Amino acid sequence: MTLYSKIIGTGSCLPPKRVTNHALAMQLAEKGIETSDEWIVSRSGISARHYAEPDVQSSDLAVEASRHALEMAKLAPNDIDLIIVATSTPDHFGGFPSTACVVQRKLGITNECAAFDVQAVCSGFVYAVAVADSLIKSGAHKNVLIIGAEVFSRILNFEDRTTCVLFGDGAGAMVLTAANEPGILATKLHSDGRYADILCIPGNASAGVVAGSAFLYMDGPAVFKLAVSVLEKVANEALKIADMSASQIDWLIPHQANIRIMQSTAKKLGLPMENMVVTVDQHGNTSAASIPLALDTAVRDGRIKAGQTVMMEGVGGGFTWGAVLARM
């Protein structure tokens, strides 16, 4: 019998603290940094973002999103036999113990299932889905909890208006299960380390302290140019694997980073803008959490229905990019 993987649950979590462009502009003005709602919206499409409180970690957001996904999937925590967390802001310095193991503990999972983190920045969730899909198809795992969770507000330089206005915190989750019919139709992943420097945190640990900068750095124009180029290509690669055309996509869910990149991708694929799920305006760029947040929003408000085809794709530091084509 051929095994496939199918999405049976989604969930999300945004911290209660919502920061509008106006509020952020007021905060930055106190530091002598000029920006405005109009400036931010015109360049990114972002109107607000959410920030976690200082005592809230990526795992806390991940756990809440996971509980919603498990509830939709009608599964108990101990029904999960693999946890994959995509994050660039893990709970612990150095990334261990993994945030996935922390989530396992906080969810009360006692079945000794495997748990690990994936680091592909904003492409992390797509990478995690591709890995989970392969492991389910191999028969190694049956019910996989996949999470994208970030507290990017911790790594933002609030004296750099070109980056600090773009990012926010949040988590999204998905449950993939073994099925007799295709759910994940195709995946395709890429990376190119030659572009590692255009989106990165340039610092590193030395003698117990950070050597260099611990803040996110982004060459905005370079990232924009590369993102627009690779997102169309990887979407078409996934479609080719599935022997499908762009016209068969019901919903496009790109990484929620910049509305102009998203609109350009939809246009190149020949998709109407109303067939693209947009949540970047409400939560900004939440890195690995952005795609599952958008997916859960559209599932729960009824836009995405059973049987429809969804293209999820992202780009991130590394430079990484990838796509997942799924039938709901």
For the chain, what are the domain ranges? 4-181, 185-327
Q: Which CATH class is domain 185-327?
A: alpha beta
With CA atoms as reference, report the closest residue to 145 among 171, 180, 119: 171
What's the confidence (pLDDT) of residue 203?
Answer: 87
With CA atoms as reference, report the closest residue to 88 among 317, 328, 325: 317
Backbone φ and ψ for 175, nearest 5 degrees, come out as -110, 120
Where residue 207 falls among pLDDT bands split at 50, 70, 90?
confident
Compute the distance between CA of residue 191 and CA of residue 237 in angstroms, rounded to an integer: 14
The sheet carrying 82-86 orders its strands as: 4-13, 169-179, 143-151, 82-86, 114-118
> C-alpha angle 138/184/100, rounded to 5°?
70
Q: Are strands 251-254 and 309-316 parallel, antiparallel or unpaired?
A: parallel
User: What burial class does residue 39 get, using C-beta atoms within 10 Å of its C-beta: 0-12 exposed, 13-18 middle, 19+ buried?
Assistant: middle
Query: How many CB atoms neighbour CB 269 within 10 A?
Result: 22
Where residue 93 falls among pLDDT bands split at 50, 70, 90?
confident
Is a pLDDT exceeding 90 seen at residue 206? no
Catalytic residues: 122, 255, 285
Q: What is the mean pLDDT of residues 157-171?
A: 95
What's the confidence (pLDDT) of residue 282?
Answer: 97
Phi-psi domain of 146 (left: phi exceeds 0; alpha: psi -120 through 50; beta: other) = beta
Where residue 210 falls among pLDDT bands split at 50, 70, 90?
confident
Q: What is the mean pLDDT of residues 126-144?
A: 98
Regarding predicted confidence, which is higher, 214 or 231? Answer: 231
Q: Are strands 251-254 and 217-218 parallel, antiparallel or unpaired?
A: unpaired
Tell me which fold the domain 4-181 belongs to: Peroxisomal Thiolase; Chain A, domain 1 (3.40.47)
